[in-house]
Amino acid sequence: MVKPTLCLILGVLLCTAGEARAARDAGSIRLRARAQVAGERITLGDLGRLEGEAVEFDGIDLGMAPEAGSTRRISGASILARLQDAGLDEERIGYSIPSSVRVRRAHQEIHPEEIRFHIEKSALDWLEAGDAIESIESPVRLRVPLGDYAIRVRTPRAVGRHAHEADIEIEQEGQVVARGEARLRISSRRPVVVARRAVARGVMLTEEDILVEKREVRGLPSSVLHHPDEVLGRLASVSLSPGAVLTARKIEVPLLVERGDLVRVAIENGGMRLTVPAEALDSAGLGERVRLINPTSGREFSAEVIAHGKARVHY
């Protein structure tokens, strides 16, 4: 009688174990210690394989993904806790979860040459006439998430006489996903007035003495002269050699009125014109204003010098 009873008990135990195994075979979760994601959020399905009824947990959100090319570590305990909160039935679904999972964000790299191309293209919008980009130091390869992207180049800001910096922004779906800076060196060629021939100090400059050339203004003083009208009729305040760039310090306005001179002043008011004599209280050159005094009334006023010994007042 013992043997049939033992067989019966063993049969019951085997049946129970089979039922338990069948119940746990309703689904399984097998996570890897290392995983890679492409999107901005990490889901359970990104970390391994889910089968059977476990598939319903595929979309469990485990938080933000790291930046493109970077990693984030998630503890196995926190993953299990999220599963339990989501209703995991451990009697029906088996699982294998590492103590921690290292998640890397998939990425693509933007080559500096591509960035330089976009800088040169955008330069058409902000370079001034005569300017040219001499060199571009673009940022190292920028890492961005997978997918289409657009490169935006902001108008460069000056950080030196000829050095500029431009902000680079990489956009995906209207959002900036990466930033960098490019350093530019910009050459500036501008028309400048130069001496055509040797000119002695004190000589009045004429068209035969000067010419206009395009020169790199880097290294030139800020007082460099760009138009012949700024030079013609002025005196050379120093001796000029051929090719010398003219600056405000190298020329001076000839005095057409000197202190104490009797000046004929044309007073204009509408269609009326009256000429009166006045005494100069200052010295001045062409186009400059000079203080005068009416010898009859003793009234002081100012006028614009228009020729030797002549000035003009507008009312």
User: Tokens standing for 24?
Assistant: 């746990």
Q: Are residues 242 and 281 in the same domain?
A: no
Whether 4 is in a domain gets the answer: no
User: How far is 114 from 170, CA to CA, in rounded Å?
Assistant: 12
Whether 17 is in a domain gets the answer: no
CB 186 within 8 A of CB 216: no
153 or 21: whose pLDDT is higher? 153
Whether 13 is in a domain gets the answer: no
Q: Where are the alpha helices (DSSP H) in 86-130?
A: 112-126
When the pLDDT of each residue in the chain is averaged and rounded to a whole number, the result is 88
> For the ranges 14-18, 137-141, 267-271, which has the lowest average pLDDT?
14-18
Q: How far is CA 164 from CA 82, 117, 155, 182, 214, in A?
A: 51, 17, 10, 8, 22
Among the candidates 252, 271, 299, a domain finishes at 252
Whether 14 is in a domain gets the answer: no
User: How far is 35 from 55, CA to CA, in rounded Å?
Assistant: 18
Residue 88's CATH number: 2.60.480
Domain limits at 209?
189-252
Stated pTM of the model: 0.53
Backbone φ and ψ for 253, nearest 5 degrees, come out as: -80, 125
Give the total number of structural domains in the chain: 4
Whether 237 is in a domain gets the answer: yes
Is the model's pLDDT at 21 over the cut of 70?
A: no
Q: Where are the alpha helices (DSSP H) in 86-144?
A: 112-126
CB 62 within 8 A of CB 82: yes
What length does the chain have? 315
Q: Are residues 176 and 247 in the same domain?
A: no
Whether 154 is in a domain gets the answer: yes
Whether 49 is in a domain gets the answer: yes
User: Tokens standing for 86?
Assistant: 């989501």
pLDDT for the residue 130: 80
Among the candidates 204, 230, 252, a domain finishes at 252
Residue range 85-109: mean pLDDT, rounded: 95
Q: How far is CA 237 from CA 125, 220, 222, 255, 264, in A?
A: 41, 18, 18, 13, 28
- Cβ neighbors of 255 (< 8 A, separation 6 or more) are 283, 284, 285
Q: Are residues 78 and 123 in the same domain?
A: no
Backbone φ and ψ for 63, nearest 5 degrees, come out as: 110, -175
Give 187: exposed, middle or buried? Use CB within 10 Å, 0-12, 13-18, 19+: middle
User: Tokens standing for 124?
Assistant: 């058409």
Q: Are residues 101 and 131 in the same domain?
A: no
User: How far is 265 from 226, CA to CA, in rounded Å?
Assistant: 32
Among the candidates 74, 105, 136, a domain finishes at 105
Residue 239's CATH number: 3.90.1210.10
DSSP count for the chain of H helices, then E strands: 3, 25
Taking the CA atoms of residue 220, residue 224, residue 226 and residue 228 in that order, the dihedral angle to the nearest 10 degrees is: -130
Q: Are residues 31 and 95 in the same domain?
A: yes
Q: How far is CA 267 from CA 112, 227, 256, 309, in A?
A: 67, 31, 18, 15
> For the ranges 16-30, 117-131, 136-150, 188-202, which has the lowest average pLDDT?
16-30
pLDDT for the residue 19: 36
Whether 2 is in a domain gets the answer: no
